[in-house]
A and B are shown apart, each in its own frame.
Chain A
Amino acid sequence: MSDHHHGTTPPSDRALRVRAMEQLLIEKGLIKEGAVDTIIDIFEHQLGPRNGAKVVARAWADPAYKARLMTDASAAIEEFGFAGFQGEYMVVCENTPEVHNVVVCTLCSCYPWPVLGLPPTWYKTAPYRSRVVIEPRAVLEEFGLSIPDDVEVRVWDSNNELRYLVLPMRPEGTEGWSEEQLAELVTRDSMIGTGVAAVPAKGEPA
């Protein structure tokens, strides 16, 4: 590149670098103005754990739906209109009194976008990815989750095309609740397996 940079400061800053890349690809006719904003809007407003919570709540409330979800998760999830990148081949892992499931991607950051959106920072970075396969119980303790020794911990390392959603156990005391009420108890972490569903406060809802 010799002294091609005469008189300009090479971008040292990440913001400048990504702006330059986007601008260059627009100039080359490979992307259109506005397309990046469309993507950002989808990820910030359309995808997220509220989608997954609806799936879980229906699985709790409707045994026929749960059966479909456990047989062909992608199709059952698409009943809600949730589909697309990183959710094409979904598998649901059901937590039981005997088995606790937890999901990771040790090689990168594979995560089921249509139902959970983009992953939290801890999911994408070295501390979680390195440790959860070798000492899952210690990692789960740091999330406030204590798994008894007689419960099997299954760590799902999503490395291929399949993406995993954990079906947490339905909390006690929620008999007769509507799907909307149940969905309120379903946290993001309970669908990754680093948490469990929230326990309803006594007496709510009527």
Chain B
Amino acid sequence: MNSIHDLGGMHGMGPLPFEENEPFFHEDWERRTLGTHLLTLMTGLAVADEARHSMERIEALHWLASPYYEHWLDGTETYLKEKGIATAEELATGHATEPLPAWAAELSALEPETVGRMITTNHPVTGEAAAAPKYREGDRVRSINMNPRTHTRLPRYTRGKPCTIVAYRGACLYADARSLGDYGAVDHTYTVRFEGADLWGRDAGPKDAVYIDLYESYLEDL
């Protein structure tokens, strides 16, 4: 969706917030938000793509004015409510009054030791695609122009532009479909190169390029 989260190429967002010796967290609620949010994903209450889409739907004015981890907090509350895991009242009081939906009741809470192992273990992010990849390294292609209201990982600044296939990366988990509940979806993924001038015209830097990983469904023949 074309919301405020899709920032690439904008001007006017203010100075870079530099901080010497910055801690990983500034306030305790940030720690607990990171931990609780990750646990909801690890337990199987949502996938990362659903979580990202929940954060994208935060209203722009609030998004811009709120700190980073508040986006996580807002987004987590959104999918817990939408998936029937918690009501607004339960989230306000911290006490359960409603039963879980059957699919969530079947999930089991992870032991702390299991949690630690899961975080530091590699999990597959690729799968088997039905068809062979269509493009090869060196092919000239074009990113499609699309403007879905749903989740996509094709940023606006890269839409409808010519690019070159740099590498084939396998069939990665397909975020657009997973955000809509098709959790097993994968799509061939390519690293592509956009020349600065193709993205920014005469305002591009002298020798600038953007590399980004695009799903095959984001690409068309040039």
Please encode chain A, from 130 to 161, with 1 for each CB lying within 8 Å of some chain B CB and 0 for all others. Answer: 11011111010010000001111111111111
Question: How many residues of A are counted as interface, with CB atoms below 8 angstroms from the partner's CB atoms?
Answer: 85
The answer to whether the Cβ of A29 comes within 8 Å of any Cβ in the partner chain is yes
Is B197 among interface residues, defined by CB-CB distance under 8 A? no
Given contacts A122-B16, A134-B200, A160-B215, contact A74 B110 (CB under 8 A): no
Taking a contact as CB atoms under 8 Å apart, the answer to whether B107 and A130 are in contact is no
Cβ–Cβ < 8 Å partners of B191 in chain A: 91, 162
Q: Which of B78-121 contact A (CB under 8 A)?
A: 80, 85-86, 88-96, 100, 104, 107-113, 115-116, 118-121
Residue A108, interface by CB 8 Å: yes
Q: Which of A26, A106, A109, A121 contacts B8 (CB 8 A)?
A: A106
Partner of A36, one of B39, B64, B86: B39
Q: How far is the CB of A77 from chain B (nearest CB, A)?
A: 10
CA distance A124 to B69 in the complex (A): 10
Decide: A136 near B207, CB < 8 A? Known: A88-B125, A109-B68, A160-B189.
no
Most interface-central of A14, A15, A135, A136 (chain B CB within 10 A): A14
Contact of B205 among A8, A109, A126, A153 (CB under 8 A): A153
Does A10 count as interface, using CB distance less than 8 angstroms?
Answer: yes
* A19 interface hit (Cβ, 8 Å): yes
Given the complex, which residues of B lie within 8 Å of A26, measured CB to CB? 109
Contact A21 B91 (CB under 8 A): yes
Contact B122–A124 (Cβ < 8 Å)? no
Contacts of A71 in B (CB 8 A): none
List of A residues within 8 angstroms of B43 by Cβ: 30-31
A22, B32: Cα distance in complex, Å: 8
Interface string of B20-61 (1 = CB under 8 A from A): 001011011101111110111001010000001001000000
Contact between chains at B94 and A20 (CB < 8 Å): yes
- The reply on A128 being an interface residue by CB < 8 A is yes
Picked from A15, A34, A48, A106, the residue with its CB within 8 Å of the CB of B7 is A106
Q: Which residues of B are interface residues toward A (Cβ below 8 A)?
A: 5-11, 13-19, 22, 24-25, 27-29, 31-36, 38-40, 43, 45, 52, 55, 64, 68-70, 73, 76-77, 80, 85-86, 88-96, 100, 104, 107-113, 115-116, 118-126, 153-155, 157-158, 169, 172-173, 175, 189, 191, 199-200, 203, 205-215
